[in-house]
Structure 1
């Protein structure tokens, strides 16, 4: 079964947009980024924390996937689904230290400007900024990160209500229909 790439984001947060490039149909996970064309499509649609690189190569794709995989596992663990693994933390930290940033004073009082150390290629800078977005979610004191457990979803989202179980109305409807059919089987 082919998966249509719609890139319909739940929140517009770079960290979740990164992790949610793996989706679930039924209880099977599907990779949405399998080629540079897929990655280009995602870059056009996603909330990005840095400028979109003008072109993407196979090397960029091979650098993207390990970061995404580590981010996905770390964010799922933070949402209470799975364990936090040291190797994933190390992968994230490697991206964070590749091109660190410092805050320098801005031109106007009370302002600061982020300045990247070094001269990273656009895609390398984007990966560093994506890693920082994931880090920021993981270190914030928030308890609203959740995993939609509706059949055919599995996306990470931020709850808008304390009792919110699904990422959106469509998933809630799917879960209720599945529960209804299971009760009448």
Structure 2
């Protein structure tokens, strides 16, 4: 498990980005089954100490997908991604599942004191214990959702986009420039359709 909030943010954003636009007006879920989840975990060896030995099953897949829907709650009062709007868990149930998952890997406090800075308390998994995938992701999600980055989380509402992103400057409205281009083209076509 990563210790830095930035690492946690990137990990949970990577998880959120496993749902994306498919290019044909639909939504693609990169986590199509246990094998796809296994490959995703293997692609994040720094976040999961036992990543190379991990093999996902259906229960892992369901739990990870449930965690992913918390992003829809985090962007409120804004609209969630269209990918999550139809399958959104009620917030109390989503929180119960998140907290239950996070509790499966016990952690211990660790004090770090970098040169030139004050001491910082962080939590690390108990040494020599198995690392539960959902627990690691849940702990990362908690760190992200309770941290300062949550205030910058947005759902991209460009046509056909279903991604979440961190707003990096006040005028940013979309997750990437191509989404901004699609939104401007759609507005242009809509104006001409109404006046034409």
Task: Report the CA distance between 1:48 and its aligned residue.
Answer: 5.3
How many pairs are equivalent?
Answer: 170
2:61 to 60, 64, 68: 64
Is residue 2:147 matched to residue 1:147? no
* 163-172 or 109-118, which deviates more: 109-118
Kept in 2, the 8 Å contact 1:98–1:128? The answer is yes
Output the CA distance in 2 between the equivalents of 1:46 and 1:102: 23
* 27-36 or 44-53, which deviates more: 44-53
Is residue 2:142 matched to residue 1:135? yes
Kept in 2, the 8 Å contact 1:67–1:92? The answer is no
Change (3 A) 1:177 1:108: closer
Residue 130 of structure 2 corresponds to: 121
* 153-162 or 47-56, which deviates more: 47-56
| Root mean square deviation, CA, Å | 3.1
Task: Report the CA distance between 1:75 and its aligned residue.
Answer: 1.6
* 3-state DSSP of counterpart to 1:15: helix
Q: Which runs of 4+ in 1 moved over 6 A?
A: 106-109
Where structure 2 has 5 or more consecutive residues not aligned to the other structure, the ranges are: 1-8, 81-87
Change (3 A) 1:177 1:32: same
Task: Report the CA distance between 1:148 and its aligned residue.
Answer: 0.7
TM-score w.r.t. the length of structure 1 is 0.74
1:29 to 27, 30, 33: 27
Residue 48 of structure 2 corresponds to: 50
TM-score w.r.t. the length of structure 2 is 0.70
Is residue 2:81 matched to residue 1:99? no
